[in-house]
Structure 1
Amino acid sequence: MDRVQCSAPCTVHCPSYQPQRLHFCEESILHSNEAPTEHQRRDVQRSIGDAYQELNSIQNELFELQCAITRIQSREIALHNFIFDHSPVIAPIRRIPNEILCEIFSHCVQSGTHMNAPNPSGMALTLTLVCRKWRRVALGYPLLWRKLRLQCTPQTCLPGFCFCEPRSWLHLDRSAAAPLQIAIDAYSSATGKRLLDVLLSHSYRWADVSLNVTVDLYRELFMNRITAEIDLPILKRLSLRFMYLNNLEHPTPFLRSLTALEDLTLDMAGSRISSALLPVWSQLRHCALRTCQLEDILRVLPLLRGDASLALTSCQTTAGPRPTVRTTLVSSLSFADCDEVFVMTILQAITAPRLTKIRALDFLNTGKLVELLLPLLARSDCNLTHLCLDLPYTTLAISDLFLLLDSPHTKSLLDLELRCMAIMSTPFMEALSRRANAAPQLRALAFRGCVALDEGGLLDLHAKRKGVLRELWLTEALNMPVVSEPTRQVLSAAGVEVVYFHADPY
């Protein structure tokens, strides 16, 4: 075998290299300017010739070795390319049935977008760009194309052409008969009337609708339509945000069609709630009212069904006579960014025998709030299971809170959420560990706004409520854990799960 063909030089195929013996001249001649003799000159000339000959041999051998290395490297690259090209053939995802792939796509779209995103179907469009199979599956799955957003304004669309129309036609065609989720953020009758007419012709497929009601949209939906043009048999979730003061005092085809509505978010911009919504309240499971007047809310409360939840946001007190006590069957009541006088008036004016959840945020006078909640729970004879309160930076607030936790109406309390500073969480945990009768069934404890916890107090609290406390919810601060990993492992081994949340759990 030739040396070039030997992949591993050895003593058999590759004899050891024997360099030629060169003749070195004397030091006195080599490192001086003395003239050599004729005999010395011939010896040096012969030695230089031998060195050139050996150098040429070495260069030839290096070239042959470099050719061998290049050939091996080319083979290595070819094998890598072969593996890279053929590995996807046996990838597990190729064996996933189309039905399972559709479910994966559906979860991907739901987690990657929401109705308030600039392009709710952006994730679906991304899935169609991966490969031909994914594009075919995505285009053939109507639920991926059920989200549609309409933004027609004179600034974004032309009077003769609406830029929202091509995408809307495409989505309506791809969604087939799937229920639609529609958001109309901006509307102008000069540019989007034809598109709105087409969407209303598909109103029988509307399932989740969010509307920012401008003057033009108000006229098109609530004034210029006849009953036959609007049919909303499956609309379960509706969000209406009025951009101006309005007066919906007469029933309209749109409101009369809300026979399946269960979830209503209403932002009245400070104006009165229409009496045309009177038949709707008794069928709601979830109701969120924003910037509404006190009189309207007291009128709505007795109409809600027994398992309904009511969330009030940015509501203020208006001048008027003191309301009488009314009975409501709501199971959940929430206040956020409301006037404290408004909250006090509501809590004093209602009796709620089925009330199990209370959430009162931005009410910093804990003592006054407890003074209102205790009579409400007593006259309603109800038991709380969920409680969420602000805990301001006062030791007195903890004492006021335990007046409520020691009440017989909170013995069934399961979840407690406190919005407090880190310095307030430690004395609260110490007080909770000392008082075994306060919320004895408490299984979940949540701290919001807390960037650090006394881990010794936390372990002591767990020891006092071992087997009862199961969950500890904390707000993650600056991507740093509030509880150290060793403490978390100790709690986890004892059955307490530490969870970091970002969204509102209620």
Structure 2
Amino acid sequence: MPVCEDCGEYRRRAVEGPQTVTELFEEMDQVEALMKRLAVHRSSLRRRINSLVPISRLPPEILIEIFSLVCQSSSTTPVFLGSICADWRSLAWNTPLLWSRITLEVSDALPKSRPDLLSEWLLRSNNLPLHIKLFPTEEDDSVFLNLRTIMEVLVTRSAYWGSIECILPPQCHDLLSMRHFPILRSVLLRPPKGTISTFSQPPNIYPGRNYGDSEHNF
């Protein structure tokens, strides 16, 4: 019977293999060490393979231009580019231009890690103008609450906003009213469907101008 045959195989291995618990642990340590060496060797082989790909021979400046065009014309992100290989990761991680565009879909399920990841994204953009697009998947309070969480992170870099396109619910008005946007050149803010949205204290978009208590519609 197969079960008996398996039992016999296990007995044979037990007889031929280590006899004590200590020997078993020693063998496990040896296997783990071998696996680590193989992993290092595999990484080395992958780097060698990547170095033979024609695109890897392009100058970094050309690769950056390609990366930038890809990120602008598709949903590809610098995070994805950095996952291809170590060289691309180093290049993408150290090219602020790739991180200056932020396009996010905001849903009612917001991962706890997203605000932290967004903060890191903003830091990688250095001091370049930021071009932001936020698209709520639905127009309801739970989504707008998550949108506010995202906006709370983004407004920490409001001085670097170059453009913003977003559905802006009243829940987010106060975040913009408290900030300055000295280099903002393009604004497309739409209120949720079926509402008329106004600011009690409009954002200070233009440096040196103060709107006081007047209302300003977007």
Q: Does 1:140 align with 2:94?
A: yes
Q: Do the aligned partners of 1:209 and 1:237 also contact (CA within 8 Å) in 2?
A: yes
The one-letter amino acid of 1:257's match is: I
- Answer yes or no: is the 8 Å Cα contact 2:50–2:85 preserved in 1: no
**Number of residue equivalences:** 159
Which whole-Å CA distance do the structure 2 matches of 1:220 and 1:152 have between them? Answer: 17
Note the C-alpha offset of 1:95: 3.5
Give the C-alpha shift of residue 214 in structure 1. 1.8
Larger Cα Rg: Structure 1 or Structure 2? 1
For residues 310-335 of structure 1, the C-alpha deviation after alignment (integer angstroms, 9 at most, x for no partner) is xxxxxxxxxxxxxxxxxxxxxxxxxx
Residue 172 of structure 2 is matched in structure 1 by 217
CA contact (8 A) 2:78 2:98 kept: yes
From 144, 147, 163, the equivalent of 1:188 is 144
Contact persistence 1:152–1:162 (CA under 8 A): no
Amino acid at match of 1:146: S
Whether the aligned pair in 1 keeps the contact of 2:96 and 2:128 (CA below 8 Å) is yes
* TM-score in terms of structure 2 length: 0.59
Instruction: Identify the residue that residue 276 of structure 1 maps to in structure 2.
Output: 216
Contact map agreement 1:98 1:137 (CA 8 A) in 2: yes
Within the candidate set 97, 100, 107, 2:69 is matched to 107
User: Compared with structure 1, are the counterparts of its residues 165 and 275 closer, same or farther at alpha carbon in structure 2 (3 Å cutoff)?
Assistant: closer
Structure 2 counterpart of 1:276, one-letter code: H
Distance in 2 (CA, whole Å) between partners of 1:220 and 1:212 is: 14
Give the share of equivalent positions with the same residue, in percent: 25
Question: After superposition, what is the alpha-carbon deviation per residue over 1:122-145, rounded to whole angstroms, capped at 9, x for unaligned?
Answer: 342332122211111011111112
Distance, in Å, in 2 between the alignment partners of 1:178 and 1:249 is 28
SS at match of 1:231: coil
- Cα deviation per residue 1:141-173 (whole Å; 9 max; x = unaligned)? 1111222245555x313xxx7453133123113
Equivalent position of 1:239 in the other structure: 188
Write the distance in 2 (CA, Å) between the matches of 1:150 and 1:91. Answer: 32
RMSD, matched Cα: 3.3
Q: Which has the higher helix share?
A: 2
Correspondence for 2:9: none
Q: Which structure 1 segments of 5+ residues have no match?
A: 1-84, 114-121, 260-273, 281-506
* Conserved 8 A contact 1:150-1:164: no
Match runs of 1:344-363 below 5 Å = none
> Does residue 95 of the first structure (1) align with residue 57 of the second (2)?
yes
Residue pair 1:150, 1:185 contacting (<8 A) in 2 also: yes
- TM (norm. structure 1) is 0.28
Any stretches of 5+ residues in structure 2 without a counterpart? 1-46, 137-142, 208-213
Residue 200 (structure 1) aligned with residue 164 (structure 2)? no
Distance 1:151 1:164, change over 3 A: farther
Query: Letter of the aligned partner of 2:101 in structure 1?
Result: K
Alpha carbons of structure 1 residues 102 and 210: separation in structure 2 relative to 1, 3 Å: same
Q: Whole-Å Cα distance in 1 between the matches of residues 144 and 89 of structure 2?
A: 34
